[in-house]
């Protein structure tokens, strides 16, 4: 899934989980589950930079409005952290991926507009869920 989608899921988790180690484990697990759902990813390109910028802008905006505290940052960080290996591989620093749902055999793939729609709908779901729960 997109950086923004994972980040929004981490933000939602932070609304109800205040135990930081448990929040970290749950956020990584959320990344695992979301990457199993068939979707279209961005490749290392301008789209990736736009995706990361959108996630950061949404996060900063929610931070300014709600002052959610450390769990918000912590949950968001752990929810997006597994994708750092994707970035490192695409930049040539590592040769393969290790996080199981990033492996081609189980990574959920749905090419084209339907795969993009899955990401958009999932991100919107987490965005509105955050607004409900915060
Ligand atoms: Zn991922």
pTM, to two decimals: 0.94
Q: How far is the CA of 12 from the centre of ligand 1 (A)?
A: 17
CA distance 16 to 101: 25
Quote the ligand 1 centre to 84 CA distance (angstroms).
8
Q: How many angstroms is it from 56 CA to the middle of ligand 1?
A: 17
pLDDT tens, per residue, the chain with 134 residues: 999 999 999 999 999 999 999 999 999 999 999 999 999 987 767 888 999 999 999 999 999 999 999 999 999 999 999 999 988 998 899 999 999 999 999 999 999 899 999 999 999 999 999 999 99
- In angstroms, what is the span from residue 67 Cα to ligand 1's centroid? 27
Domain enclosing residue 83, as ranges? 3-133
Q: CA distances (Å), 46 to each of 34, 49, 50, 107, in order?
A: 23, 5, 6, 22
Cα distance between residue 87 and residue 3, in whole Å: 11
The pLDDT assigned to 41 comes to: 86
How far, in Å, is the centroid of ligand 1 from the Cα of 53?
Answer: 17
* Rounded distance from Cα 41 to ligand 1 centre (Å): 9
**How far is the centre of ligand 1, averaged over its atoms, from the C-alpha of 100 (Å)?**
9
Instruction: Compute the distance from residue 35 Cα to the ligand 1 centre, in Å.
Output: 6
Total number of domains constituting the chain: 1
Quote the pLDDT of residue 87. Answer: 86
Ligand 1 centroid, distance to 83 Cα (angstroms)? 5
Q: Which of 43, 21, 27, 34 is nearest to 87 (CA)?
A: 43
């Amino acid at each position: 899934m997109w950086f923004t989608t994972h980040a929004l899921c981490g933000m939602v988790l932070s609304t109800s989980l205040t135990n930081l180690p448990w929040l970290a484990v749950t956020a990584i697990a959320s990344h695992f589950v979301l990457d199993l759902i068939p979707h279209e990813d961005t490749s290392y390109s301008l789209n990736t930079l736009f995706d990361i910028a959108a996630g950061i802008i949404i996060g900063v905006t929610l931070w300014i409005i709600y002052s959610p505290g450390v769990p918000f940052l912590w949950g968001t960080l752990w929810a997006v952290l597994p994708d750092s290996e994707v970035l490192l591989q695409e930049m040539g620093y590592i040769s393969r991926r290790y996080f199981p749902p990033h492996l081609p055999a189980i990574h959920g793939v749905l090419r084209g507009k339907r795969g993009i729609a899955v990401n958009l709908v999932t991100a919107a779901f987490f965005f509105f869920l955050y607004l409900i729960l915060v």
